[in-house]
A and B are shown apart, each in its own frame.
Chain A
Amino acid sequence: GNSVTQMEGPVTLSEEAFLTINCTYTATGYPSLFWYVQYPGEGLQLLLKATKADDKGSNKGFEATYRKETTSFHLEKGSVQVSDSAVYFCALLNYGGSQGNLIFGKGTKLSVKP
């Protein structure tokens, strides 16, 4: 079945460091891919998305490229800030379900120190 695997955290970085959070997926067909972010005390929010191979999603300085050949959707940011501290979830949209169900990875907690 469809699944998402992302690197385990927690990840601790200093401000202005480069961030990579790895995400790979297993899916039949051509799923859409997403990164969600959950700030402390808040609900998950859509950070960025890509709907087909080679698409690059970007938002708030974060980027991720849909790589079909490596079944990956790694999240990157060139210079993290303390305010980026949150839990990041990689997800794919399973079109096989009647409701279009999101399938999530386990989440990666990022802590950015000043």
Chain B
Amino acid sequence: GAVVSQHPSWVICKSGTSVKIECRSLDFQATTMFWYRQFPKQSLMLMATSNEGSKATYEQGVEKDKFLINHASLTLSTLTVTSAHPEDSSFYICSARGLGGRSYEQYFGPGTRLTVT
């Protein structure tokens, strides 16, 4: 089946620094990628949706200048957390959908645990 990878799987950074998380579709072309955030014992919350070659669409309440999303190719999307603060510590999950895929046919990455100290 379709495989999505994320790198790194976990990262620790200092407050004020920026962190980049990569999401790759390994065996299919992902025209749309989604970024989610999950707090402990909470549901996945959609942060933004990106289509290859265009700007990401952010959900209400998500700061686009803080969470920079780039979807430059059909197999790679990146999320950069800029000027990270401890409250940005969370589990970030990406998913990808191929061309012609139905809305629910998203393939999920294993997630990235971000800890900001």
Interface of A toward B, CB cutoff 8 Å: 4, 8, 32, 34, 36, 38, 41-46, 49, 89, 91, 93, 95, 98-107
- Taking the closest CB of chain A, its distance from the CB of B31, in whole angstroms, is 11
Q: Are A106 and B107 in contact (CB under 8 A)?
A: no
A95 to B104, CA, bound (A): 11
Instruction: Tell me which residues across on chain B come within 8 A of A41, comparing CB atoms.
Output: 110
Interface residue tally for chain B (C-beta within 8 Å): 22
Query: Would A34 and B4 be within 8 Å (CB), given that A89-B44, A99-B32, A107-B43 are in contact?
Result: no
Whether a CB of chain A sits under 8 angstroms from the CB of B103 is: yes
Closest to B45 in A: A104
Which B28-47 residues sit within 8 Å CB-CB of chain A?
Answer: 32, 34, 41-44, 46
Query: Would A93 and B111 be within 8 Å (CB), given that A43-B93, A104-B43 are in contact?
Result: no
A32 to B103, CA, bound (A): 10
- Taking the closest CB of chain B, its distance from the CB of A56, in whole angstroms, is 17
Whether a CB of chain A sits under 8 angstroms from the CB of B78 is: no
Q: Are B104 and A100 in contact (CB under 8 A)?
A: yes
Query: Would A49 and B104 be within 8 Å (CB), given that A99-B57, A104-B43, A106-B41 are in contact?
Result: yes
A47 to B39, CA, bound (A): 23
